[in-house]
Amino acid sequence: MPVVSVIIPSYNLGEYLGETLRSVQDQTFRDWECLVVENGSSDNSSKVVREFASRDPRFTLIPLVSNIGVAAARNMAMHRCFGKYILFLDADDLIGPGYMKAAVEAMEQDPSLNVVYGKAERFGSETAWDLPPFSMSTMLSRNCLYVSCFFRKHEHDLYLGTGFDTSFTHGYEDWDFWLSFFQALPAEPRVLQLPEVYFYYRTRRKSRNAGVSDELLKEIRYKLWDKHKELYARYFPNPLETVEYRRMARAFRKASDTPCWKLRMAVKKLLGR
């Protein structure tokens, strides 16, 4: 049985898929399998996977006739994989060659860890990525984990078992997955960020998240809150204690200390506004 199962859903990303599979193949840790769920693409995605699989039997193609969505594709592969640890990877992203080795060593040395991930960089249309350190309070306010983190398959199967929520069709299903996983654990989640950059997120103008409007994002955030009310209540019994509210309050206090702000407030008071 392989130690790590890499799960890659793919839909019409053949131009990037080869580079992604090579980043898996170049891992210094060798005991892995890689399942690529090909979601009925009309490009050369299946051909790319077959070429890799013909040279390296650790790659497996799961061909589908139609696109069932990224969440359902990951769930399907989770039921078919055999690894002790699972790593999701999107078909256009990359992982550094030492990622598996570092993550597996960390989780083997500390069985209490639930999730392990590396530092990350964006590439493509932009480079900076404001990814804050993990904490549950931050995680509930904004997603501070990407989808390509390591976790134990048996912990998912034992405590959660449901995989991704397929109703999140417009993105952020990974945020919901991590919240669901953490909510299902019997104790406070233990998450470790490795000190090296191991994940490279490709930014594309046509990606799902890039097309999410502010209004749709509000709906998604409300859906997350509604689904995980108990988890939010555990960490934020008072809504004014959320990370985002505290950040907004600090920004307001900082702005109110500037001479321009004080002058504007004085003018408003003088004019009775």
| Average pLDDT of the chain to the nearest whole number | 89
pLDDT, tens digit, 9 for 90 and up, residues 28-72? 999 999 999 999 999 999 999 999 999 999 999 999 999 999 999
Model pLDDT, residue 269 = 60
Average pLDDT for 214-218: 87
Share of the chain above pLDDT 70, in %: 82
pLDDT, tens digit, 9 for 90 and up, residues 172-187? 999 999 999 999 999 9
Q: How far apart are CA 203 and CA 191, in angstroms?
A: 25
The CATH superfamily label for domain 4-237 reads: Spore Coat Polysaccharide Biosynthesis Protein SpsA; Chain A (3.90.550.10)
pLDDT at 224 over 90: yes
* Highest mean pLDDT of the ranges 127-136, 150-159, 215-224, 239-248: 150-159
Model pLDDT, residue 41 = 95
pLDDT at 168 over 70: yes
- Band the pLDDT of 266: cuts 50, 70, 90: low
- Band the pLDDT of 244: cuts 50, 70, 90: low
Q: Which residues pair with 10 in a beta bridge?
A: 38
- Band the pLDDT of 190: cuts 50, 70, 90: very high
The secondary structure of the chain as a DSSP string is: --SEEEEEEESS-HHHHHHHHHHHHT-S---EEEEEEEES-SSSHHHHHHHHHHH-TTEEEEEESS---HHHHHHHHHHH---SEEEE--TT-EE-TTHHHHHHHHHHH-TT--EEEEEEEEEES------PPP-HHHHHHS--S-S--EEEHHHIIIII---S-TT-TTS-HHHHHHHHHHHHSSS---EEEEEEEEEEEEE-TTSTGGG--HHHHHHHHHHHHHHTHHHHHHH-SSGGGSHHHHHHHHHHHHHHTSHHHHHHHHHHHHHT-
pTM: 0.85
Q: How far apart are CA 44 and CA 36, in angstroms?
A: 13
Model pLDDT, residue 214 = 84
Domain coordinates in residue numbering, the chain? 4-237, 242-273
Lowest mean pLDDT among 66-80, 101-115, 155-169, 255-269: 255-269
pLDDT at 157 over 90: yes
Closest CA to 126 of 183, 221, 209: 209
Model pLDDT, residue 130 = 73
More confident residue, 207 or 74: 74
pLDDT at 128 over 90: no
pLDDT at 262 over 90: no
- Which residues are CB-contacts of 22 (< 8 A; sequence separation ≥ 6)? none
Model pLDDT, residue 124 = 75
CB of 162 closer than 8 Å to CB of 201: no
Q: Is 35 exposed, middle or buried (0-12, 13-18, 19+ CB in 10 A)?
A: buried
